[in-house]
Amino acid sequence: MRRASIRVRLALWVAGLVTVSGAIVVVAVVALGGRFLHDAARPAPLPPGVPPGSPLAARINQGQRGQAARSALNEAELIGLSALGVLALCSVGIGWAVAGRMVRPVHVLAETAHEISDASLHRRIGLEGPADELKELADAFDGMLDRLDAAFASQRRFVADASHELRTPLATIRAELDAGLDDTAAERIGSVLDQADALVEALLTLSRSDAVAAHDPVDLAEIAREVVTATPGAASLDVHLDLAPARVAGDAALLDRLVGNLVENAARYNVAGGLLAVSTETRNGASVLTVANDGPPIPPEEAQSLTERFRRRDRTSQGGFGLGLAIAAAIAQGHGGELTLRARPEGGLEATTALPSPPA
């Protein structure tokens, strides 16, 4: 059964408050009026020596009634103003409570909308209560999330399926080339196939980066130390490590890929003998990984856009597909964190990943 709409309920509450307030004022006026009439009708005692019924007695009684009337009016005015103040305060408090109760679902809807991202589309408002306008709005919002969740899941399945399907023909082509071409041609085409394999692997990682199934204890400091040691080209750079424990709960393979992409990106887009600084720490309830490098100057407004898929500042050098930072950002988001990029004033980039620390 559909309950009365918010508009009707609010109108009824206002009407009820006005009715109750009016009733209180009427009762007060009637009570004061009765008291005034009672005081006016009661004969006042005369001074000694003044005979009842005399003209002097009539004037004395009239003056006393006037004084009683003025006193009653003053008292009525004081009581009326006091009652008005009390009613105003009560109406504000009651109105605040009623309005808060009615708009509470709006706050729930707004908070959920702020917290939802493409990595948490499974969340729903699930508003309980009467079937009114807010319930319809929350249900419509949940329905929209259902459709978005299905669309994103379909997109991820497509990328994963396409990547898997590409692996077989690429392997077949490589085998045929190795068997039928001379060494120079096979090496040249093999290099292209290596790039295709790397692209397929990147797409696969991207497709599963926001679906974190494992929540194993992982220390970003240990991963960073191993990654820097294994990164090609890091040995020729000015490496600075400041690795304090930074524990998170998540997928170890994906987190390894996140750190690897940031460090490899910092090493690839660097200058000869340039800085490669990697640090980890725990700060404000988050485990923070920071990777900074020297390199060409980057406009500050362009830095964060480098997390877009297939986004490359220079498509003519250093190779790559523009997916490294996009994958790192997706993995961070899938773990409930965030990747922030900042252009360094002296050139290069600073990438900061903040992930929630597990409870102690």
Tokens 């669309």 locate to 151
Q: Are residues 335 and 253 in the same domain?
A: yes
C-beta neighbour count of 49 within 10 angstroms: 6
For residues 106 and 251, give the distance between their C-alpha atoms in angstroms, rounded to a whole number.
35
C-beta neighbour count of 263 within 10 angstroms: 24
| Residue 136 counted as domain residue | no
* Torsion angles phi and psi, residue 50, rounded to 5: -105, 115
User: First and final CA of the chain: distance in angstroms?
Assistant: 48
> Residue 253: which CATH number?
3.30.565.10
For residues 293 and 305, give the distance between their C-alpha atoms in angstroms, rounded to a whole number.
18
Tokens 């709006």 locate to 106
Complete DSSP assignment for 121-156: TT------S-SSHHHHHHHHHHHHHHHHHHHHHHHH
| Residue 337 counted as domain residue | yes
Q: Strand locations in the chain, DSSP E?
A: 216-219, 238-243, 247-250, 275-283, 286-293, 338-343, 349-356
Q: Are residues 235 and 175 in the same domain?
A: no
For residues 80 and 21, give the distance between their C-alpha atoms in angstroms, rounded to a whole number.
12
Q: Are residues 26 and 106 in the same domain?
A: yes
| pLDDT tens string 21-41 | 767 766 776 666 666 656 555
Output the six-digit token pair for 148: 């978005």
Q: Are residues 250 and 304 in the same domain?
A: yes
Compute the CA torsion angle 129, 131, 132, 133 (nearest 10 deg).
100
Largest CA distance in the chain: 147
Task: Fill in the amino acid letter for 208.
Answer: R
| Residue 305 counted as domain residue | yes
| pLDDT tens string 34-76 | 666 565 555 556 556 556 655 655 555 655 555 666 666 667 6
Q: Are 268 and 318 in contact (CB under 8 A)?
A: yes
Domain count for the chain, please give it.
3
C-beta neighbour count of 60 within 10 angstroms: 16
Q: What residues of the chain score a pLDDT lower than 70?
A: 1-11, 14-15, 18, 22, 25-26, 29-74, 76-77, 79-81, 83-84, 88, 91-92, 95, 99, 117-121, 154-156, 158-170, 172-174, 176-193, 195-196, 198-200, 202-214, 312-321, 360
| Residue 152 counted as domain residue | yes
Closest CA to 265 of 219, 226, 313: 313
Q: What is the pLDDT of residue 78?
A: 72
Q: Are residues 291 and 338 in the same domain?
A: yes
| Residue 86 counted as domain residue | yes
Q: Are residues 232 and 346 in the same domain?
A: yes
Q: What is the pLDDT of residue 225?
A: 96
Q: Are residues 32 and 103 in the same domain?
A: yes
Q: Are residues 155 and 97 in the same domain?
A: no
Q: Are residues 202 and 238 in the same domain?
A: no
Q: Are residues 294 and 229 in the same domain?
A: yes
Q: Are residues 227 and 350 in the same domain?
A: yes
Specify burial of residue 32 (Cβ count, 10 A radius: 0-12, 13-18, 19+): middle
| Residue 125 counted as domain residue | no
Q: What is the pLDDT of residue 316?
A: 46
What's the Cα-to-Cα distance from 86 to each of 25, 28, 62, 91, 265, rounded to whole Å?
A: 11, 13, 36, 8, 69
> Residue 163: which CATH number?
1.10.287.130
For residue 73, the enclosing domain spans 6-115
Output the six-digit token pair for 336: 């409930």
| Residue 133 counted as domain residue | no
| Residue 131 counted as domain residue | no
Q: Are residues 350 and 221 in the same domain?
A: yes
Please count the CA atoms within 13 angstroms of the CA of 333 that sit on its side-chain side.
19
Output the six-digit token pair for 21: 């307030």
Helix pair 220-230, 252-268: axis angle to 10 deg? 50
The domain boundary residue, chosen from 187, 208, 229: 208
The domain boundary residue, chosen from 115, 137, 166: 115
